[in-house]
Structure 1
Amino acid sequence: MTEAPESAGPNGRAHTRYTPGTPCWVSLMVHGMAATQAFYGELFGWEFEPGPHQLGPYVRALLDGQEVAGIGQLPPDRHLPIAWTPYLASDDVDLTAESVRLCGGTLGVGPLDAGEAGRLAIGSDPSGAVFGIWQAREHLGTGAAGAPGTPAWNELLTFEAASVAKFYEALFGYEERPVALAGFDCVTLCLDGRPVAGIHGVGHALPRDRGPHWLTYFEVADADTALERLAGLGGHVLTAARDTPHGRVATVTDPEGARFALIQSSR
């Protein structure tokens, strides 16, 4: 984790509307919808509501009535890596999607409408890491932050940070802030002086079956307790909990193999 995330507003509420370039939503496409909902419901205390139906079988995860994430179903014949995907806010998804192409990225889905919720596209950066773009209408994005069970941070794990950082900077005008850690290839992406996401170059330490990918951190009250619960629910621990300047962190997967991180933030 390259930088502490922005703090939430009063009562853990996030922004009403996200600045373009800010991660505003995370979504997961899986094969077993019911089993996945049961896993994350037990792990994070999420409840679920269906929709938008334009995305096929899809549910929104709620925590204390606030939307925090989405889970959708992959078609049976689609054998894609199961992965959490962050969505970056945009005021014009069509223009941003065109910029993805012009800057050397690839567009995989859309732009397309998700009913009255908003408009989206899914692309990949020049290194192959997948991310989404979200233009909000009725659905503004993640509605809570700072509380256990909410997304806390998004970090790109890639071969080398500087070159791919230029791609994202061209899309959203991020300011780059190098992280002063000896031996670490890290860049923090900032908007208006505040950190919104990180890029971590790890070279050949990338998983062979994944390649460059975005990693979402979810807040937990106690990292060690959450790891025990996760293992009991069929998840897997990839890196044991360790203390960092930003809190206690562990990297894990859910039963279908989606990687994510747990963080017990420093208070």
Structure 2
Amino acid sequence: MTHPMPGVPNWVDLGTSDLQDAIRFYTQLFGWEAEISGAEYGGYTTFRIDGRATAGAGPTFGEGQPTAWSTYIATDDADAVTARVAAAGGKVLVPPFDVMYQGRMAAFLDQAGAPFSVWQAGTMKGADIFDVPGALTWNELVTRDIEGSAAFYGDVFGWVARESSMGDLPYIIWEYAGETIAGMQQMDATWPHDLPPHWMISFAVADCDDAAGYAQSLGGRVLQSPSDLAIGRHAVLEDPQGGAFAVLQNDQQ
């Protein structure tokens, strides 16, 4: 990850059907501190590591809305991004609005239907810590439309999609301003046909196998068992309410 700057992922948060249980699960799994906001913010919770913001969580609002993690991309002009999303074939789910003095946000679907949001910082800049155990370490777009997504995010944010590999599998690296900022993976026929495109987030852990086992003991599930990748040991987990996320043990960090 790179420190938040306009044009790169800078925040993740969880919309959950049971905020109190999510706080229990994630504070125990990652050792996070939970800072719960007042009623004016709907109980929105900021998770911290040694006082530094790493992620957020709040209740779902729409009936039937699934529990899910969201990726936010930093911007200095949420309204301009909104116009570019519409022009590039995306869909505006939530037009830009002010979150009091904290910042300005909007939510979208990309051209293939993957949800994402943008954050224009006010007093809240985004995450303050990356790449240490418990902190955000990677964001990855999983999609069935690699070429369309390369064009969409290029038009909206100026990202460049570079062909790479993850072991024996092809992989796309997103670059911006000369920095590697995220990844993209093709959903082929082996993926469940009803799984929509999405942004997967990965939190750093000291021991992937221990984290997977501990998540199960806390009421979560292991969706993909720990396995070795070129960048480290990786697993995909699910919290008790169904929110999917990954953990990554990178011994080079």
Query: Which TM-score applies when normalising by structure 2?
Result: 0.94
The percentage of aligned residue pairs carrying the same residue is: 35
Equivalences for residues 54-65 of structure 1 within 5 A: 55-65=41-51
CA displacement 1:21-42 (0-9 Å, x = unmatched): 2100001101111100000000
Unaligned runs of 5+ residues in structure 1 are 7-14
Contact kept, 8 Å, 1:26 with 1:85, in 2: the verdict is yes
Partner of residue 47, structure 1: 33
Q: Secondary structure at the match of 1:214?
A: strand
> Alignment partner for residue 92 of structure 2, among 102, 107, 124?
107
Q: 1:204 aligns with which of 167, 189, 202?
A: 189
Partner of 1:263: 248
State the secondary structure of the residue aligned to 1:179: strand
Cα separation, 2, equivalents of 1:127 and 1:34? 33
SS at match of 2:189: helix
Please state if 1:67 is matched with 2:67.
no
Contact 2:228 2:234 in 1 (8 A): yes
Q: Deviations over 1:110-167 (max 9, x none)?
A: 3111111100001010111000100001111000012110010000111131221110
Total equivalences in the alignment: 252
**Structure 1 residue identity aligned to 2:30:** F
TM-score, normalised by the number of residues in structure 1: 0.89
1:184 aligns with 2:169: yes
Structure 2 Cα separation of the partners of residues 115 and 235 of structure 1: 34
CA contact (8 A) 2:68 2:243 kept: yes
CA RMSD for the aligned pairs? 1.7
What code does the residue aligned with 1:56 have?
G
Structure 1 residue runs of 4+, over 2 Å off? 50-57, 180-186, 203-210
The CA distance in 2 between the partners of 1:73 and 1:255, in whole Å, is 14
How far apart are residue 223 of structure 1 and its match?
A: 0.5
Deviation at 1:80, TM superposition (A): 1.6
- 5 Å-filtered alignment, 1:237-256, equals 237-256=222-241
Taking the aligned partners of 1:167 and 1:179, their CA distance within structure 2 comes to 19
> Which amino acid in 1 is paired with 2:208?
A
Give the Å deviation of 1:50: 2.4
Q: From the superposition, tell whether residues 182 and 29 of structure 1 become closer, same or farther in structure 2 (CA, over 3 Å).
A: closer
Pair 53,67 (structure 1): closer, same or farther in 2 beyond 3 Å: farther
State the distance in 1 between where 2:22 and 2:51 align. Answer: 19
Change (3 A) 1:68 1:24: same
For residue 48 of structure 1, report the CA deviation from its aligned partner. Answer: 1.2
Opposite residue 200 of structure 1, the aligned amino acid is Q
Distance 2:192 2:14 in 1: 19
Residue 168 (structure 1) aligns with? 153
